[in-house]
Amino acid sequence: MLITKNITYHNRDFSAITDDTKCIDSRTLFVKTKQNERYFSTLEPKPPYIHAHDLGEIFAMPKCIIGITGTNGKTTTATIIYESLRALGFNAALLGTRGFFINGVEMKPKGLTTPGVLELYEDFELAKECAYFVMEVSSHAIVQERIAGVEFGLKILSNITSDHLDFHKSLQEYIRVKNSFFALSSPKLINADEINAHYNPANAYTYGIESSANMRTLSYDLHDGIRAQVAWSDTIQNNDKNTNTNAREMARGDLERTILEAKLFGKHNLYNALAALSALKILTRKPLDSLAHVIAQFEGVSGRMEILSHRPLIIVDFAHTHDGMEQIFQSFLGRKIVVLFGAGGDRDTTKRPKMGAVADKYAHRIYLTSDNPRSENPDAIIAQIAQGVRDKTKIIIESNRKKAIESAIKDMCDDEVLLVLGKGDESYQIIGDNTLPFDDREIIKALIQD
């Protein structure tokens, strides 16, 4: 990447900055990163350079950066926090799977969950007037040091299950990487119910449904949206379950209670709302009642548990792991679940039969179709998913995703809920080397209007 920018660094003036060895010249400052260090080592003579960790010296920064990582829930949690901060009157930016936004204006379309380090600092400078910069942090970005030098005002962990094992090679390594984000003593907010969370307890706040935590639920109802009685205490808990120490009782003197309501479905979204409410409390110190009122106005995230039709009930979600799918299924216990999904090509193959197994556990009809097959044969991907389904009579196979959606809607009964999973708000499908226009939501809307 090459950015045109007047820079003075170590008493030298430059007119551009780059992390691409092909763009080096006497007027361009080079950024040395973990990803280009092997190429940099071969350069002779060495160009003038800056370490990625020092980019904050030459880029203007927003006042407070909030980083959210986890297997599931990053996008929803980040969006609730961002929209709530804006509703509270703060200038705020949002960077993640859905793109880059400043105060409701889209600055860049969706790309990587976390961009390259130089682009990230360019985004920081664009949002330099913002009081808060909310961003998703992927496990890839942690390993590749795409967040080098970033000083976070708050780090948040949603959960750690299993994903991207094609990159990380093992679940243990994936867990290690996620936890490494919380190794330092910077302020952090941790899901107290997450058994895979291992973190430096210094400056740690927690939230949870089952465990004692700074933000905890006293009771909750998920029948029609979310309604929970919650309590907050500033007393920092020691909730690391892996140390076999009991959490201290929450101090009663600073306890705040409120009713948390959200126009969202499922226990997983209760976790997301709790994380957001906790973050807002930590960041703004405003009364809990006022913060809960703001969250109650949140309308949801496009492509995340998005209702396309109430009768029949048709919902689109981005869930693309067996754990993410199970969280969706558990939101509709007692309902007749019909599910339609596939799996991305050129990605972790070990999760495919697990996705089939969890669908078999909850759904009474399963449509297996294409997701983004990329260079893989769609039928081969479907066959791997089907290996996890014990009751093969549940399966309807249609590799053409549009035709699969048409069949699923046509075959629906009034007492069923159709869950179309895997792509969420994606507006494309990657087949081979081609990226083709495709949006589950638009197809569904057209079909139910006919």
DSSP state letter for 354 = H
Residue 75 within any structural domain of the chain? yes
310 and 282 share one domain? no
49 and 83 share one domain? no
Residue 224 has pLDDT above 70, yes or no: yes
Residue 199 within any structural domain of the chain? yes
Residue 116 within any structural domain of the chain? yes
Q: How many CB atoms lie within 10 A of CB 333?
A: 9
121 and 34 share one domain? no
Residue 286 within any structural domain of the chain? yes
Residue 341 has pLDDT above 70, yes or no: yes
191 and 157 share one domain? yes
Quick one: pLDDT at residue 165? Answer: 62
Q: How many CB atoms lie within 10 A of CB 185?
A: 11
Q: What integer is the mean pLDDT of 236-256? A: 50
Chain CA centroid to CA 101, Å: 16
Residue 230 within any structural domain of the chain? yes
What is the spatial distance between Cα 61 and Cα 149, in angstroms, rounded to a whole number? Answer: 12
Place of tokens 């010249």: 25
Chain CA centroid to CA 38, Å: 30
What is the spatial distance between Cα 288 and Cα 177, in angstroms, rounded to a whole number? Answer: 33
Quick one: pLDDT at residue 251? Answer: 44
Q: Which of 20, 16, 17, 23 is nearest to 39 (CA)?
A: 20
Residue 301 within any structural domain of the chain? no
From 296, 315, 347, give the residue that closes a domain: 296
Confidence bin at 418 (pLDDT 50/70/90): very high
Residue 441 sits in a domain whose CATH number is: 3.90.190.20
Into how many domains does the chain fold?
Answer: 3
Phi, psi of 13 (to 5 degrees): -100, 135
Question: Which has more confidence, 188 or 43?
Answer: 188
Q: What integer is the mean pLDDT of 335-357? A: 96
Residue 364 has pLDDT above 70, yes or no: yes
220 and 292 share one domain? yes
pLDDT tens-digit readout, 270-286 = 999 999 999 999 999 99
Domain ranges, residue 264: 64-296
Q: Are 344 and 320 spatial neighbours (Cβ–Cβ below 8 Å)?
A: yes
Residue 254 has pLDDT above 90, yes or no: no
What is the spatial distance between Cα 343 and Cα 312, in angstroms, rounded to a whole number? Answer: 25
292 and 318 share one domain? no
Residue 240 has pLDDT above 70, yes or no: no
pLDDT tens-digit readout, 420-438 = 999 999 999 999 999 999 9
Residue 163 has pLDDT above 80, yes or no: no
DSSP state letter for 74 = H
372 and 287 share one domain? no
Residue 239 has pLDDT above 90, yes or no: no
342 and 403 share one domain? yes
Chain CA centroid to CA 279, Å: 16
Residue 298 has pLDDT above 50, yes or no: yes
274 and 367 share one domain? no
| Per-position b or e across 232-265, b if 16+ CB within 10 A of its CB | bbeeebebbbeeeeebeebeeeeebebebbbbbb
Q: Torsion-angle region of residue 91: left (phi > 0), alpha (psi -120 to 50) or beta?
A: beta
126 and 205 share one domain? yes
Tell me which amino acid residue 94 is: L
From 57, 76, 103, give the residue that closes a domain: 57
Q: How far apart are the first and last CA of the chain?
A: 46
Confidence bin at 238 (pLDDT 50/70/90): very low
Range of weakest confidence among 195-204, 252-261, 288-297, 382-391: 252-261
pLDDT tens-digit readout, 172-195 = 999 999 999 999 888 999 999 999
Q: Are 232 and 274 spatial neighbours (Cβ–Cβ below 8 Å)?
A: no
Residue 366 has pLDDT above 80, yes or no: yes
Quick one: pLDDT at residue 110? Answer: 81
112 and 47 share one domain? no
Range of weakest confidence among 66-75, 226-235, 250-259: 250-259
Q: What integer is the mean pLDDT of 221-227? A: 91
From 250, 275, 296, give the residue that closes a domain: 296
Residue 252 has pLDDT above 70, yes or no: no
Place of tokens 């950066």: 65
Q: What are 356's two structure tokens?
A: 């089939």
78 and 184 share one domain? yes
Indicate the average pLDDT of the chain: 92
Task: Give just the sign of the alpha carbon dihedral 195, 199, 202, 207.
Answer: negative
Quick one: pLDDT at residue 241? Answer: 42
Question: Which has more confidence, 124 or 305?
Answer: 124
Q: What integer is the mean pLDDT of 37-65? A: 94
pTM value is 0.85
193-199-202-204 Cα dihedral, nearest 10 degrees: -30
Residue 80 sits in a domain whose CATH number is: 3.40.1190.10
DSSP sequence for 256-321? EEEEEEES--SHHHHHHHHHHHHHHHHHH---HHHHHHHHHT----TTSSEEEETTTEEEEE---S
User: How many Cα atoms sit within 13 Å of 281 on the Cβ side?
Assistant: 28
Place of tokens 């706040």: 205
Residue 128 within any structural domain of the chain? yes
Quick one: pLDDT at residue 235? Answer: 80
Residue 250 has pLDDT above 80, yes or no: no
Q: Torsion-angle region of residue 145: left (phi > 0), alpha (psi -120 to 50) or beta?
A: left
Quick one: pLDDT at residue 441? Answer: 97
